[in-house]
């Protein structure tokens, strides 16, 4: 399933009263928009991200919108929210099966909430996150300038809509074709005759609408970090991950190791360039960040990665872990290869890998070993690499 995420950030936040769009303001040291976009850039189910922004932001986008670890496109928003979403929907790739839409002003939605909403929409056609109300709900009526209770509504049937909201592509197409005003896409889908499933939302998934919401958001930013499971927090001393990669050696393929093409009559067989050093380091970095493995982010079933450079995938992975607030401290790699000998080219590999990661070469170690003639590697039929990567929090000293 190919999932496209639309982050709606096309408004100017006029109700907020700030001199610039509220989504560019910071909460807990990070821009509100950055938090919302990072949620989908780092989500393993999402394949691409489209962000709607005002024209001036599109002309000079911030750094976190220029370098994504997966396809990220910027679309100029429209006059209304539904216009912005429609502009983004027109830009989704042809292979998109499902679209998940999220308000940029909700920077604290969790990856689990995104996963549950997508799964519900895949099954039912449309779904939205929503919270049940706990207070008694009154429907008001007016008599002149005064308001009176017209009816007490059963609170068991009342829910407060949130985002994300997810839709199979045909359902969203029908919804956006419906006329009239609506405050969210779920209402348009209802109007188009599609049932919309409710997914339990999160109390911390607030929408920042007014200036006083910023104070609440700062508290949530701190509490979310403090209450996260220890396994999900960047450790003060760093987070270590291990990686391993193995490829058969076959005639007619280039042998690329650490971004360097090695003279050889055989090369590694793979969907991409089969660079065992880069692939092992990628898995080590993803492991340290608890983000799955290389196959989950760059699957060999996706034509985008056909012949892809290992260095390019490595740079994308750096941005992926960076979206989690992590940076690479150092990496250590052991290449296991019988022939050809590569020791003389190790420094060139170190420089290439370091450049892709954004490190000084002194923080990249690459060692070459043989398998002493044993098993497939020893017989010259395969090449392997083992890697360790140390990540640390961006704010750590």
- Is 223 found in the same domain as 248? no
Across the chain, mean pLDDT equals 88
pLDDT attached to residue 394: 63
Domain boundary among 205, 230, 255: 230
Residue 224's pLDDT band, with cuts at 50, 70 and 90, is low
Closest CA to 173 of 154, 156, 192, 199: 192
- Is 303 found in the same domain as 210? no
Query: Mean per-residue pLDDT for 56-79?
Result: 85
- Is 260 found in the same domain as 213? no
- Is 290 found in the same domain as 265? yes
CB 146 within 8 A of CB 179: no
- Is 218 found in the same domain as 328? no
Q: What CATH number is associated with residue 283?
A: 3.30.1330.50
pTM: 0.63
Domain boundary among 230, 260, 280: 230
Q: What CATH number is associated with residue 137?
A: 3.90.550.10
Instruction: Residue 104: give the domain boundaries.
Output: 3-230
- Is 157 found in the same domain as 17? yes
**Residue 146, phi-psi category: left (phi > 0), alpha (psi -120 to 50), beta (remainder):** beta
Q: Which pLDDT tens digit goes with each residue over 272-322?
A: 999 999 999 999 999 998 888 998 888 888 888 999 999 999 998 988 888
- Is 170 found in the same domain as 91? yes
pLDDT attached to residue 230: 45
- Is 369 found in the same domain as 287? yes
- Is 303 found in the same domain as 277? yes
**Residue 308 phi/psi, 5° resolution?**
-60, 140
Q: Which pLDDT tens digit goes with each residue over 225-281?
A: 554 444 444 444 578 999 999 999 999 999 999 999 999 999 999 999 999 999 999
pLDDT attached to residue 147: 87
- Is 125 found in the same domain as 18? yes
- Is 349 found in the same domain as 262? yes
Give percent of the chain above pLDDT 70.
Answer: 93
Domain boundary among 182, 207, 230: 230
pLDDT at 14 > cutoff 80: no
- Is 263 found in the same domain as 220? no
Residue 70's pLDDT band, with cuts at 50, 70 and 90, is confident
Domain count for the chain, please give it: 2
pLDDT attached to residue 233: 46
Give percent of the chain above pLDDT 90.
Answer: 59
Query: Mean per-residue pLDDT for 183-212?
Result: 93
Dist. CA 144–CA 123, nearest whole Å: 48
């Amino acid at each position: 399933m190919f999932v496209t995420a639309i982050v709606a950030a096309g408004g100017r936040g006029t109700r907020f009263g700030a001199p610039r769009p509220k989504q560019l303001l910071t909460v807990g040291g990070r821009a509100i928009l950055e938090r919302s976009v990072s949620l989908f850039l780092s989500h393993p189910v999402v394949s691409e991200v489209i962000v709607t922004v005002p024209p001036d932001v599109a002309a000079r986008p911030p750094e976190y919108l220029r370098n994504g670890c997966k396809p990220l496109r910027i679309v100029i928003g429209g006059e209304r929210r539904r216009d912005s979403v429609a502009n983004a929907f027109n830009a989704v790739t042809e292979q998109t099966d499902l679209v998940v839409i999220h308000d940029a002003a909700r920077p604290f939605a969790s990856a689990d909430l995104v996963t549950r909403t997508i799964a519900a929409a895949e099954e039912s056609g449309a779904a939205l996150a929503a919270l049940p109300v706990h207070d008694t709900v009154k429907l008001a009526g007016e008599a002149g300038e005064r308001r009176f209770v017209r009816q007490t509504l059963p609170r068991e049937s009342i829910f407060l809509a949130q985002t994300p909201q997810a839709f199979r592509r045909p359902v969203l197409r029908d919804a956006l074709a419906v006329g009239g005003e609506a405050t969210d896409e779920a209402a348009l889908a209802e109007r188009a005759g599609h049932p919309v499933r409710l997914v339990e939302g999160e109390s911390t998934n607030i929408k920042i609408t007014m200036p006083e919401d910023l104070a609440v958001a700062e508290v949530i930013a701190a509490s979310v970090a403090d209450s996260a499971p220890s396994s999900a927090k960047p450790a003060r001393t760093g987070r270590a991950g291990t990686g391993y990669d193995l490829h058969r050696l076959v005639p007619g393929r280039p042998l690329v190791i650490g971004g360097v093409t090695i003279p050889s009559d055989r090369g590694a067989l793979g969907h991409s360039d089969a660079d065992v050093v880069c692939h092992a380091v990628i898995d080590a970095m993803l492991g340290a960040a608890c983000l799955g493995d290389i196959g989950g982010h760059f699957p060999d079933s996706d034509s985008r990665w056909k012949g892809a450079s290992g260095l390019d995938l490595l740079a994308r992975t750096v941005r992926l872990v960076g979206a989690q607030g992590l940076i690479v401290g150092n990496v250590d790699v052991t290449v296991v290869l019988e022939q050809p000998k590569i020791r003389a080219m190790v420094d060139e590999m170190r420089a290439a890998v370091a450049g892709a990661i954004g490190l000084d070469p002194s923080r990249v170690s690459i060692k070459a070993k043989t398998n002493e003639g044993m098993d497939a590697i020893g017989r010259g039929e395969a090449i392997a690499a083992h890697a360790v990567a140390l990540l640390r929090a961006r704010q750590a000293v």
